[in-house]
């Protein structure tokens, strides 16, 4: 029998999750918690047990950037613990994870973003599903995530510390730097929540004097997706390779350098700056389907490699965008099936 162990390790770029397979005897040496040790040995040999380091992470609480100052976490660690416990409960239905999110829901707060740093909306949206499924002890998560959704649905409202602006062209605007990361992640929350409301038979959510149905929330989310893909004042798709007009000078090293097939000789680091970073030419390698930081508050966009706040692509923009679009595809398939019937 082999044991799969999940590890969190620190390097200069942050926390890295990696997996190793080890023998039970080695597991006894490496796992300090006796309860975890016993759970490994007691598993039947025909099953592959999974050890998840949530217990260790919860015991030694702290921000990862206390060890180094790079991409510091401003939101703290409570949101990650709640989010991981919420997912573990959804995946395993083990009541200990449910008890964890119930007993620690005091950590939950009305969020101002869903991002690589702030995970509260993710945890809250998952627990709102459980609330509508009958667990009324999770009402704070529902209240907090709906506060976030209301701020998105009615830009200019919200709390004294969190108000969402909207551009003249209709784009949600949370921050000047890489704004589309916040738009795409917000779209994913809106997509998931509209589906939750529909599945639960809920009419909608109340935002002050306004009520928004699930279909209205999904329609608004779709308008943001359409803006990103080209329905905007610039008539610019902010996804590279999609449509006829899109960014060509991405702030991305691999995209900015020529292919080894066209430039087989070595490119020194300093030459990269002078020959490629400062070039006015389009990137020689097209980073197809990458989403960049996007336009400014005035719906303007300068396609300049040096303007990393607006031309840099990131995984957390694309990942959330895929989640939002998947909801739209699911809806389209449903409509197609209904028409066929």
- Contact (Cβ atoms closer than 8 angstroms) between residue 212 and residue 205: yes
Which of 54, 72, 90 is at the close of a domain?
72
Element (H, E) at 258: none
The reply to whether 10 belongs to the active site is no
Please identify which of the residues 30, 117, 303, 331 carries the catalytic annotation.
Answer: 303
Write down the pLDDT at residue 144.
96
- Quote the CA–CA distance of 118 and 150 in Å, as a whole number: 18
Reply yes or no on whether the pLDDT at 143 is more than 60. yes
Between 224 and 58, the higher pLDDT residue: 224
Q: Which of 251, 252, 299, 310 is catalytic?
A: 251
Average pLDDT over residues 56-76: 71
The predicted structure's pLDDT at residue 247 = 98
Asked if residue 327 and residue 258 are part of one domain, the reply reads yes
pLDDT band of residue 49 (cuts 50, 70, 90) is very low
- pLDDT class of 45 with cuts at 50, 70, 90: very low
pLDDT at 2: 43
pLDDT (tens digit, 9 = 90+) per residue, 71-121? 778 888 899 999 989 998 998 899 999 999 999 999 999 998 999 889 999
Same domain, 22 and 61: yes
Residue 224 has what pLDDT?
97
Q: For the chain, what percent of residues have pLDDT higher than 90?
A: 57
For the residues 28-57, what does the mean pLDDT come to? 41
Q: Which CATH number do you get for residue 288?
A: 1.50.10.10
| Domains contained in the chain, number | 2
Residues 299 and 335 in one domain: yes
Q: pLDDT-based confidence at 65, cuts 50/70/90?
A: low
Q: For 191-207, how does the pLDDT look when each residue is reduced to its tens digit (9 = 90+)?
A: 999 999 999 999 999 99
The verdict on 123 and 6 lying in the same domain is no
Q: Note the pLDDT of residue 37.
A: 37
Question: CB-based burial of residue 248 (10 Å sphere; 0-12 exposed, 13-18 middle, 19+ buried)?
Answer: middle
Domain of residue 13, residue span: 1-72
Q: What is the mean pLDDT of residues 335-341?
A: 45
- Considering 26, 41, 72, which residue would you say is the last residue of a domain? 72
What residues pair up with 239 in beta bridges, in sequence order?
Answer: 291
Under the banding of pLDDT at 50, 70 and 90, the label for residue 34 is very low
pLDDT tens-digit readout, 248-305: 999 998 899 888 888 888 887 777 777 888 899 999 988 999 999 999 999 999 999 9
Q: Based on the number of CB atoms within 10 Å of its own CB, is 91 exposed (0-12), middle (13-18) or buried (19 or more)?
A: exposed
Compare 287 and 1 and report the one with higher pLDDT. Answer: 287
Kindly state whether residues 20 and 165 are assigned to the same domain: no
Question: How far, CA to CA in Å, does 10 sit from each of 13, 68, 193?
Answer: 8, 9, 34
Q: Is 263 a catalytic residue?
A: no
Query: Is the pLDDT score of 42 beyond 80?
Result: no
- Residues 55, 86: one domain? no
Whether residues 29 and 102 fall in one domain: no
pLDDT for residue 292: 98
Is the pLDDT reported for residue 56 higher than 70?
Answer: no
Residues 100 and 59 in one domain: no
- Co-location of 323 and 252 in the same domain: yes
DSSP 229: T
Last residue of a domain, one of 45, 72, 99: 72
- Answer yes or no: do 58 and 190 share one domain: no
Kindly tell me if the per-residue pLDDT of 31 is higher than 90: no
Together in a domain, 62 and 91: no
Same domain, 159 and 299: yes
Catalytic, out of 79, 113, 144, 312: 312
Among 176, 183, 165, CA closest to 318: 183
Is residue 252 part of the annotated active site? The answer reads: no
């Amino acid at each position: 029998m082999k044991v799969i162990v999940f590890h969190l390790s620190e390097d200069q770029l942050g926390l890295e999750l990696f997996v190793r397979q080890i023998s039970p005897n080695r597991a006894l040496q490496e796992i300090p918690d006796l309860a975890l040790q016993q759970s490994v040995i007691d598993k039947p040999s025909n099953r592959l047990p999974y050890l998840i380091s949530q217990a260790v992470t919860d015991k030694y609480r702290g921000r990862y950037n206390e060890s180094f100052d790079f991409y510091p976490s401003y939101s703290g660690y409570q949101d990650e613990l709640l989010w991981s416990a919420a997912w573990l409960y959804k995946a395993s239905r083990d009541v200990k994870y449910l008890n964890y999110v119930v007993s620690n829901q005091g950590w939950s707060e009305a969020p101002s973003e869903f991002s690589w740093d702030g995970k509260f909306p993710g945890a809250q949206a998952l627990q709102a599903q459980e609330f509508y499924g009958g667990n009324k002890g999770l009402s704070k998560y529902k209240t907090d995530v709906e506060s976030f959704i209301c701020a998105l649905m009615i830009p200019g409202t919200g709390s004294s510390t969190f108000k969402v602006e909207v551009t003249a062209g209709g784009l949600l605007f949370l921050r000047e730097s890489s704004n589309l990361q916040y738009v795409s992640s917000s779209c994913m929350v809106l997509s998931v929540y509209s589906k939750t409301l529909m599945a639960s038979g809920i009419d909608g959510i109340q935002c002050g004097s306004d009520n928004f149905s699930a279909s209205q929330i999904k329609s608004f989310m779709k308008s943001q997706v359409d803006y990103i893909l080209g329905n905007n004042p610039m008539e610019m798709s902010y996804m590279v390779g999609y449509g006829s007009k899109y960014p060509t000078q991405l702030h991305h090293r691999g995209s900015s350098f020529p292919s080894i097939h066209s430039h087989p000789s070595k490119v020194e680091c300093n030459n990269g700056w002078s020959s490629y970073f400062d070039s006015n030419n389009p990137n020689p390698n097209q980073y197809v389907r990458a989403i960049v930081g996007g336009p400014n508050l005035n719906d303007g966009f300068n396609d300049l490699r040096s303007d990393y706040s607006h031309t840099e692509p990131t995984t957390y923009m694309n990942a959330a965008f895929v989640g939002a679009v998947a909801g739209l595809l699911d809806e389209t398939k449903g409509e197609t099936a209904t028409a066929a019937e």
